[in-house]
A and B are shown apart, each in its own frame.
Chain A
Amino acid sequence: MSLDDAFKDPFFRDESFFGKYTYKNSPAAIKRFPFPFPEDDYMYSVNMEPHVSGRPGSVFEHAFDVDEHYVSEMRDRARVLADDPLRCQSLPHMTLAGWDLLELIMESFARDYPQWFELHKDGNKWHWINRPLGIDDKFTFLDESTLPYGPMEYITRQAQGDFTLQDQREDNLWIEAGMVTSQADWSLDFDIGMSFHEWHAPVPLAGKMGVFDRALKFLLQLQHGAPVRRFNWTMTVDPLLDTSPENYHKWGPSKTTLSAENIGQRQHLRVELQTLFRLPRSNAIAFPIRCYLISFEDLVSQPKWARRLHRVIKNLPDELATYKGFIRNRPLMIEYLSQFDDGAPTSPGWWADE
């Protein structure tokens, strides 16, 4: 069914993540933005915590956050996939994990957002209704021939954020399926089939600190029914979801066009809420990577975040600023943010001050 038929709920913004970049956060979305720094400085850590239902209205309220950008993000995903179908791949043995993911997302959406999504089951005969995207499909669970795409592709065309599926064997995790169109400069097509340490090899410093050994050990024991979450972050010029290596030639040069005049509108803090779920039938691990973007201008409307981001960026090791791709513009960022840092202490935790 075409997206043009979508039922209209004014909650969902009509905006673009390319070209004229009409993406913007509403005042409510700014307030609930997942600001990722609990302290005034930042260093790598495993920093995982149980992914349990959090503060009402926050991005932690539900297992999967559906926000005002949902419909436009799904349209952006369809656009990226049309240009490059290899952004979605699933090795043959990962189909069962795809069904697990489909079930997890459908059950969560229908439970947490009944005004938008419905799931009806009669044994393996399932009926799925997605009102915002105008989808109404009947299919047979575990029978691929009854869906227009494979199960992972079908459901991740309807869920914000990137998704990877990791098979577990030989005491390791293997990235063997994924839907990746809103990534911070990494490529599924390049990484698919890699083991945990292989796909993390480009990350500086953390390997030496033993972060990946500990993280892998932790994840191998991840239990069904006990998902976990962590944050990651980087910087992006303009609200572009698809900052992929495949398209670096299109977006990379934008970093050279930043100035003191436009940095407030164009520089965005990019936050990933990463969650990890053990999947029941396949014993694979689902790794949703949900991307949130906020312009510096909107971010500094929260005085605590403005002060803290200034301190974090100023004190970050060069290796990290280089790896995250903003070493070139760091002086400009610090200059801009310093206007909003009066040196006052910040309150603990990441929530905005009331």
Chain B
Amino acid sequence: MSGASKIPAIVTEVVEVNSLIKRFRFVREDGGPMPGFSGGSHTVVEMEDDGRRRLNAYSLMSDPADRSGYEISVRRDDGGRGGSMFMHARVKPGMRMQISQPVNLFGLDLRAKKHLMIAGGIGITPFIAQMAQLDGLGGRFELHYAARDRELGAYMNELSARYGERVHRYYDTEGQAIDLPTLLKGQPLGTHLYVCGPKGMINWVLSTAQKQGWPKGALHSEEFLAPPVGEAFQVDLALSGVTVNVGATQSMLEAIEAAGIDAPYLCRGGACGQCECKVREAEGELLHYDHWLSDEQKEARSHIMPCVSRFKGSRLVIEL
């Protein structure tokens, strides 16, 4: 593991927001204040799931000015590897859990004259913290938030009540959609665009903005990748001298940790670069799922990100 100490926390609230989403509140076990954080940060929550350790990153959605606790929202993924299922089924008020110090890979650019935010579904959570922070700083922002239907549009009413006309809501089932080309054309110079949601939405928003000539530095996106499920494989750790078996629903990083190797990580979602490993030998196919490695690195088969990426073949040796 890397760097900073963990925060021993107690779950004080579990709220069923709708049929798919639950909200969790954590306070420090020692009763002290949580570290301040910047809107867009996430924390990594450690789960002890019957002897299996799971670590999932969730965006902090509470007001960054409120140091009494942290809140996250978790969408249940019935086809996933089990982290969100654990949070929904097993985490109850009073439970002790470890969470990481906040890390921000989706920060606000405070130079922006205006912050234009586009959220899809559970992608709303980092924006809730960012809007609270901007509201306190007197920053100008506008949110466009799309959800499948009224029931699944978590926090829509609360956000409208808090920020009024700065919040624009869209429901797929009612045939409402963001008129993105018009929206982007109408923005004042110096606007920064932020998008968080499903992969398709992120690609759509970024490519539309690029086509309109938005500068790259004004575009911000965050997509947390859940490590994909795949076939089991074996990896040799050259420096530790250990061979690790990676199960089908386990990530390579999780399997390495389960073998007692202290590997570096931060986001566990293929975005931050912390767990990057050199590949020494690979007889087979490296299955890259991260956002971190460059195309050249992927083509050269020189590096791999154990947090999300996998392997298919007869022999893989990495420098760890």
Contact = CB atoms under 8 A, between A and B. Distances in A.
Contacts of A281: 36-38, 64, 133
Contacts, number: 66
Contacts of B319: none
Contacts of A167: 110
A282 interface: yes
B292 to A, nearest CB: 10
A280 B38 contact: yes
Interface stretch (B46-54, B79-87, B97-105, B307-315): B97-105
Interface stretch (A24-32, A34-42, A216-224, A315-323): A216-224
Residue from the set A92, A168, A226, A283 with the largest chain B CB neighbour count within 10 Å: A283
A215 to B, nearest CB: 14
A224 B64 contact: no
A221 B37 contact: no
Interface string B126-137: 000000010011
Contacts of A170: 216-217
Nearest to B6: A225
A94 B35 CA distance: 19
Nearest to A172: B217
Residue from the set A217, A224, A225 with the largest chain B CB neighbour count within 10 Å: A224
B308 to A, nearest CB: 17
B269 to A, nearest CB: 14
A100 interface: yes
B135 to A, nearest CB: 13
A221 B273 contact: yes
Interface string A108-151: 00000000000000000000000000000000001000000000
Interface string B1-18: 011110000000000000
A169 interface: yes
B109 interface: yes
Contacts of B216: 170
A224 B102 contact: yes
Interface string A251-289: 000000000000000000000000000001111000000
B2 A100 contact: no
A280 B3 contact: no
B274 interface: yes
B290 to A, nearest CB: 14
A25 to B, nearest CB: 34
Nearest to A224: B101
B266 interface: yes
Interface residues of B, number: 28
B140 to A, nearest CB: 13
A282 B38 contact: yes
A96 interface: yes
Interface in A54-111: 91-94, 96, 100, 103
B272 A282 contact: no
Nearest to B2: A223
B35 A280 contact: yes
B107 interface: yes
Contact of A280 (B102, B266, B272): B102
A221 B274 contact: yes
Contacts of A220: 273
Contact of A225 (B35, B110, B136): B35
B31 to A, nearest CB: 16
A220 B266 CA distance: 12
B35 A223 contact: no
Interface string B89-114: 00000000000011110010111000
Interface string B217-229: 1000000000000
A224 to B, nearest CB: 5
Interface in A191-229: 217, 220-226
Contacts of A169: 107, 109, 217
A226 B101 contact: yes
A169 B194 CA distance: 13
Nearest to B38: A283
Given A93-B111, A142-B136, A169-B109, A283 B104 contact: yes
A226 B3 contact: yes
A93 B5 CA distance: 29
Contacts of B273: 217, 220-221
Interface in A139-197: 142, 167-170
Contacts of A91: 111
Contacts of B272: 221
Contact of A96 (B2, B4, B41, B110): B110
A223 B4 contact: yes
A225 B5 contact: yes
A43 to B, nearest CB: 24
A50 B107 CA distance: 24
Given A168-B107, A217-B273, A280-B35, A225 B217 contact: no
Contact of B4 (A217, A226, A282): A226
Contacts of B38: 280-283
Contacts of A100: 36
A94 B217 CA distance: 18
B44 to A, nearest CB: 11
19 contacts: A92-B111, A93-B109, A221-B2, A222-B3, A223-B4, A224-B4, A224-B35, A224-B37, A224-B102, A224-B103, A225-B3, A225-B4, A225-B35, A226-B5, A226-B101, A280-B35, A280-B36, A283-B41, A283-B107
Given A223-B4, A280-B37, 12 more contacts: A92-B111, A96-B110, A168-B107, A170-B216, A220-B273, A223-B103, A224-B103, A225-B3, A225-B5, A225-B101, A226-B4, A281-B36
- A-B pairs, top 8 by smallest CB distance, nearest first, are A280-B36, A226-B3, A226-B4, A93-B110, A225-B4, A283-B38, A223-B4, A225-B101
